[in-house]
């Protein structure tokens, strides 16, 4: 049929074609260029974005699960109430992680790979990649890892899920390789590296610290591998000095992305009104947390907590009071009398977010010492070092508003020494209860250690119609979109790991 038509119109078309043809796609190449975008990535800037995104990607409701905070309402109180209707709140870390930081680090790695002069850039990107992936796998278990974020480069639109066991093996070896490849004489990201401004010696410490964290994660499932990696990490050198703490600095004004993500989230979701009463989502500190701090005479209580007393923030320890988590969706009449985060410290938008602290290293080292994997110091001394570092760390976050006088630190340390006479389990309880208090507000890492060690010994909230039968989560649900868009991979992961359920234990939690 085409032939037939061409025969009749061909003559006319060819005449017109002579006139028009040459100009028919003239300038198309330049017309189709986005004037507001560039064709090549600048790895430095993409890496900075990946640092912001990787740090910001967390499930904020876990702060309620770890019983630091709660809300009287179901929606916002999901973390502390686990109501079935809100289970889709467990999806976002997964959904945003891959399209933001995982994608971005992939671009950075692709850009700097193969250039010997950029070996530090590659190593730092790989270390950061491990940090980001580890946060995801610790929440969900098996996840796309080895073939993730290859949608553009390899047209892989339905990545398979890797077993967490394999992900851990890969991450640990990647840290090892990266740490060893760092070279102080070569170029770095410089100022684009928000954490260390390119200091390779510090990146090495971060790599080994992460190795310590991930190695210790395996104590329940593969104690031998745990020992191997923990030992290796300690030998490599971990973060123990305040100056080495991995942290991302933020600004108090300007774009949201430049603000401390935890502070900004708490601020916007609840405490922006600053009157203790009209909290947007009905949030307050939970009674479990505040009571514990009071019972131990913790000098951090006035640093982190306030009560609006006549409309004015009051840090007096004795009047601090946490809200119970079982309030069933009705705002309590005495709502204003409950404690909430201190705007000068916890809610400080311009405060740095701590990515890996000296305190965490010390507590993990304490456990290593208890297990006999480390003998460089006593468990007692390491524990004490952890508590001291944790108490100092609020001055890193909030400057003078967070500074606890040395005398108070010493007094608290003296009163809260490690019970070296206790059983291993008793000491573990003490370490990871202190860990809970010390890492606040990084609930996600506390949640991981809670699952591994069972501490702090939180009493779950058996709220009506909760999704877990009154138990604390063991993992997060895969986004429902995965069933829709990546069905086979999803099904394989569920078949391997167990039901896509909040109580299914992930590999290292078995």
Label residue 205 exposed, middle or buried (CB < 10 Å: 0-12, 13-18, 19+): buried
- In this complex, which beta carbon is closest to another protein, that of residue 170 or of residue 403? 170
For residue 480, the minimal CB distance to another protein (Å) is 6
CB of 101 to another protein, least distance (A): 10
User: Which stretches of 345-501 are assigned E, i.e. beta strand?
Assistant: 353-356
For residue 474, the minimal CB distance to another protein (Å) is: 13
Q: How far is the CB of 88 from another protein (least distance, A)?
A: 6
Q: How far is the CB of 113 from another protein (least distance, A)?
A: 16
Joined together, the tokens standing for residue 45 give: 């800037």
Minimum distance, C-beta of residue 507 to another protein, in the bound complex (Å): 18
**How far out from the chain centre does Cα 14 lie?**
65
- Closest separation in Å from C-beta 491 to another protein: 10
Spell 33-66 as b/e; 16+ CB within 10 A means b.
eeeeeeeeeebbebbbbbbbbbbbbbbbbbbbbb
Quote the CA–CA distance of 350 and 249 in Å, as a whole number: 7
How would you write 156-172 as a 3-class SS string?
CCCCCCECHHHHHHHHH
Nearer to another protein by Cβ, of 237 and 350: the residue is 350
CB of 272 to another protein, least distance (A): 5
Instruction: For 369, list phi and psi in degrees, rounded to 5.
Output: -65, -45
What does the block give as tokens for 150?
A: 């290859």
CB of 90: closest distance to another protein in angstroms? 12
Q: Compute the distance between CA of residue 267 and CA of residue 408 in angstroms, rounded to an integer.
A: 29
Distance (Å, whole) CA 399 – CA 414:
24
Q: How far apart are CA 145 and CA 167, in angstroms?
A: 7
Q: Answer whether 108's CB lies under 8 Å from 40's CB.
A: no
- Of the pair 166, 183, the CB lying nearest another protein is at 166
Residue 469 to residue 501: CA distance in whole angstroms: 12
Judged by beta carbon, residue 12 or residue 414, the one nearer another protein is: 12
Nearer to another protein, 72 or 289 (CB): 72
Looking at the Cβ atoms of 6 and 420, the one nearer to another protein is 6
Return the DSSP state at 316: -
What does DSSP assign to residue 330?
S
Q: Given the complex with another protein, which of 223 and 485 has the nearer CB atom?
A: 485
If the CB atoms of residues 73 and 227 are measured against another protein, the closer one turns out to be 73
Host H or E run for residue 224: helix 223-236
**41 or 187: whose CB is closer to another protein?**
41
Choice between 102 and 119, CB closer to another protein:
102
Q: What six digits make up the tokens of 61? A: 């409701």
- Backbone torsion region of residue 127, taken as left when φ is above 0, otherwise alpha when ψ lies between -120 and 50, otherwise beta: alpha
Q: How far is the CB of 36 from another protein (least distance, A)?
A: 5
Q: Are 142 and 166 in contact (CB under 8 A)?
A: no
């Amino acid at each position: 049929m085409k032939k037939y038509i061409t025969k009749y119109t061909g003559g006319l078309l060819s005449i017109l074609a002579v006139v028009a043809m040459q100009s028919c796609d003239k300038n198309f190449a330049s017309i189709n260029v986005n004037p507001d975008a560039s064709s090549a990535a600048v790895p430095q800037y993409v890496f900075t974005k990946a640092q912001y995104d990787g740090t910001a990607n967390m499930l904020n409701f876990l702060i309620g699960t770890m019983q630091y905070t709660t809300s009287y309402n179901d929606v916002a109180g999901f973390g502390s109430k686990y109501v079935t209707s809100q289970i889709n709140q467990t999806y976002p870390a997964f959904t945003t992680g891959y399209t933001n930081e995982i994608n971005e680090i992939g671009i950075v790695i692709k850009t700097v790979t193969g250039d010997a002069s950029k070996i530090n850039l590659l190593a730092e990107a790989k270390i950061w990649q491990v940090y980001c992936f580890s946060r995801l796998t610790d929440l969900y278990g098996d996840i796309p890892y080895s073939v993730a974020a290859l949608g553009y480069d390899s047209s892989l639109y339905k990545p398979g899920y890797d077993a967490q066991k394999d992900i851990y093996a890969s991450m640990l070896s990647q840290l090892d390789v990266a740490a060893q490849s760092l070279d102080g004489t070569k170029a770095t990201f410089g100022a684009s590296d928000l954490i260390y401004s390119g200091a390779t010696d510090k990146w090495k410490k971060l790599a080994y610290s992460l190795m310590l964290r991930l190695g210790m994660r395996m104590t329940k499932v593969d104690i031998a591998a745990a020992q191997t990696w923990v030992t290796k990490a300690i030998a490599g050198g971990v973060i123990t000095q305040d100056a080495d703490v991995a942290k991302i600095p933020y600004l108090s004004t300007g774009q949201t992305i430049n603000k401390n993500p935890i502070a900004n989230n708490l601020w916007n979701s609840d405490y922006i009104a600053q009157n203790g009463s009209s909290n947007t989502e009905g949030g307050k500190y939970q009674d479990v947390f505040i009571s514990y701090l009071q019972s131990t005479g913790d000098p951090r209580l006035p640093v982190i907590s306030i009560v609006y007393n006549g409309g004015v923030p009051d840090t007096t320890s004795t009047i601090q009071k946490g809200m119970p988590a079982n309030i069933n969706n009705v705002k309590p009449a005495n709502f204003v009398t409950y404690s909430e985060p201190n705007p000068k410290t916890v809610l400080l938008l311009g405060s740095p977010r701590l990515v890996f602290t000296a305190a965490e290293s010390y507590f993990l080292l304490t456990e290593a010492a208890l297990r006999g994997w480390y003998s460089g110091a006593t468990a007692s001394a390491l524990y004490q070092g952890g508590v001291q570092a944790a108490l100092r760390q609020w001055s890193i976050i909030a400057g003078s508003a967070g500074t606890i006088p040395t005398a108070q630190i010493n007094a608290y340390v003296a009163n809260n020494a490690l019970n070296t006479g206790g059983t291993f389990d008793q000491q573990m309880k003490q370490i990871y209860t202190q860990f809970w208090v010390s890492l606040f507000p990084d609930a996600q890492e506390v949640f991981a250690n809670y699952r591994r060690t069972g501490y702090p010994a939180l009493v779950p909230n058996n709220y009506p119609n909760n999704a877990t039968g009154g138990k604390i989560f063991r993992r997060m649900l895969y986004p429902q979109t995965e069933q829709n868009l990546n069905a086979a991979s999803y099904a394989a992961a569920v078949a391997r790991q167990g039901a896509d359920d909040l109580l299914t234990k992930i590999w290292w939690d078995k």
